[in-house]
Amino acid sequence: MADIFDKCDEFWDRIKKLTGEHFEAGVETFFREFPTVNCLPEVTVNGKQYMQVATNDYLGLATHPDVVSAATEICETSGVGTPLGARPLTGNTSMHLELEAKLAAFRKTEGALVFNLGLGAMTGTVACMVGRKERVFVDAYAHGCISDGAKLCKGEATWFGHNDLDELEHYLKECPLDQPKMIAVDGVYGMTGDLAPLPELVELKKKYNARLFVDDAHGTGVLGDNGRGTPEFFGVEDEVDLHGGTFAKAFGTFGGYLCGPQHVLDFIKFVSPGFVLTKALPGCITNATIKSLELMQSMPERRMQLWDNLNVLRNGLRDAGFNIGNPQGAVTSIFTRGMTALAAVKLLENKHGIIVNNVMYPAVPYGTSIIRITASALHTTEQMQTLVDAIVSVSKEIPLHESNEAAAHKAVAPQASTTTNGQA
């Protein structure tokens, strides 16, 4: 007789088949113990020092003394978790309103809305904005929180191939011009590091009377002359209808946000479960984020150092023959055919002492795995060269040059599809 738990065994059977003899090594790289301060360029684990290129603190603001002081100030006067209430009830403080005003000014939008989770901001926005008889079109590589929002919405959700504008237009043509619709994409894709083609997406949204929602979690603070992310990089800030993001990347804190027209944000305030049914972002984190936003704008040298590091890293990896696709954000991935688990262990345990992320299915397409590298402004170009040399050394033992071309460029995961949710 079938059991609801059967899927658990089936999942692990699939992973074992995929990783083969490297299964144990792969499992060991997940949920490994890290020190609390895990985002510095060098961290100490069990008394041993390692270089880490595995967290998303792109500008090194998580440990900046001014950010730490801003959080500590609130903890000392108001406690750690306060305000203990949802924003519509007792959780709406002057700090939340200040952060929203400064985010709106930064993004050049009418307003901003701060959530306690990036997931809540993205999932909740898509779910509540796409109603019955409406449609949303989602890039197949968009973050899971966008896809989950599409699955939860009451309208019709369609996934198109990663950055496949022809397929997207094919689906858009099927819709009546007057049917309300939205295109939802990442600005920078978190596993491949490539960008959404925003200028072309803007053309399509105008042609087919759609709205454009961009989750720029990995682009904000990294791209653009002022660090305003992928829309600024492409010069289309005014054409993006909703700007989403998280504080857990370049801001170095926690939480999520949405920027856009004020009347839309006011609607989301009342109907999005990700905002209404959850506790407000703690005051200590809110105050720290206000400070990190100020530093992000006043310290362009950190963004410049980050790009110096990325250029050394990527040029070195390409020169060594690795397939890294076309990364233009801060994420750099080496695409292979399933050898990353053992490679990550060898980089960690051998003489190299380097922590990277091993990413396998289901985070990437079945049959693919990647070594995911995220450098920060606190690293040096010398460390990037050391990293390249270490990967080259490991590749002499493990065939990391055997790449999956499709995954690095035009892969589709999951298969483009359409679902109808809650249609009458």
Per-residue pLDDT tens over the stretch 361-417? 777 776 778 899 999 999 999 999 999 999 999 998 888 877 645 444 443 333 334
SS3 label, residue 188: strand
Query: Phi/psi of residue 373, each to 5°?
Result: -120, 130
- Please state, in angstroms and as integers, the Cα–Cα distance from residue 252 to each residue in 137, 165, 290, following that order: 30, 33, 11
pLDDT at 345 (0 to 100): 83
Instruction: For the chain, list the domains and their CATH numbers.
Output: 23-62+300-408 (3.90.1150.10), 65-298+412-420 (3.40.640.10)
Instruction: Give me the pLDDT at residue 29, please.
Output: 66
Looking at residue 232, its pLDDT comes to 98
Query: Residue 39 — pLDDT band, cuts 50, 70, 90?
Result: confident
The mean pLDDT value for 276-305 works out to: 96
DSSP string covering 6-17, please? HHHHHHHHHHHH
- Quick: pLDDT tens for 155-201: 999 999 999 999 999 999 999 999 999 999 999 999 999 999 999 99
**Peptide bond before 273: cis, by omega within 30 degrees of 0?**
no
Identify whether the C-beta of residue 181 lies closer than 8 Å to the C-beta of residue 211.
yes
pLDDT in tens, 113-148: 999 999 999 999 999 999 999 999 999 999 989 999
What's the confidence (pLDDT) of residue 424?
29
Provide the edge-to-edge strand list for the sheet that holds 331-336: 331-336, 369-374, 357-359
pLDDT in tens, 47-101: 889 999 999 999 999 999 999 999 999 999 999 999 999 999 999 999 999 999 9
Mean pLDDT for the chain? 90
Tell me the C-alpha to C-alpha distance, in Å, between residue 78 and each of 83, 96, 113, 290. Answer: 8, 15, 23, 17
CA end-to-end distance (rounded Å), the chain: 34
Task: Give per-residue pLDDT as tens, 328-372.
Answer: 999 999 988 767 778 888 898 878 999 999 887 777 776 778 899
What pLDDT digit, counting tens, does each position of 214-265 carry?
999 999 999 999 999 999 999 999 999 999 999 999 999 999 999 999 999 9
Check residue 30 and give its pLDDT: 67
Helices (H) then strands (E): counts for the chain: 16, 14
Q: Compute how many other C-beta atoms are within 10 angstroms of the C-beta atom of residue 276.
A: 16
Give the residue from 295, 231, 233, 284 showing the smallest Cα distance to 255. Answer: 284
SS3 content of the chain, % helix, strand, coil (to 5): 40, 15, 40
DSSP secondary structure string for all residues of 75-111:
HHHH-SS-S-SBTTTT---HHHHHHHHHHHHHHTSSE
Which residue do the tokens 């369609």 mark? 158
Written as six digits, the tokens of 313 are 């890293």
Q: Which two tokens stand for residue 175?
A: 């819709």
Q: What is the gyration radius of the CA atoms in the chain, in angstroms?
A: 22
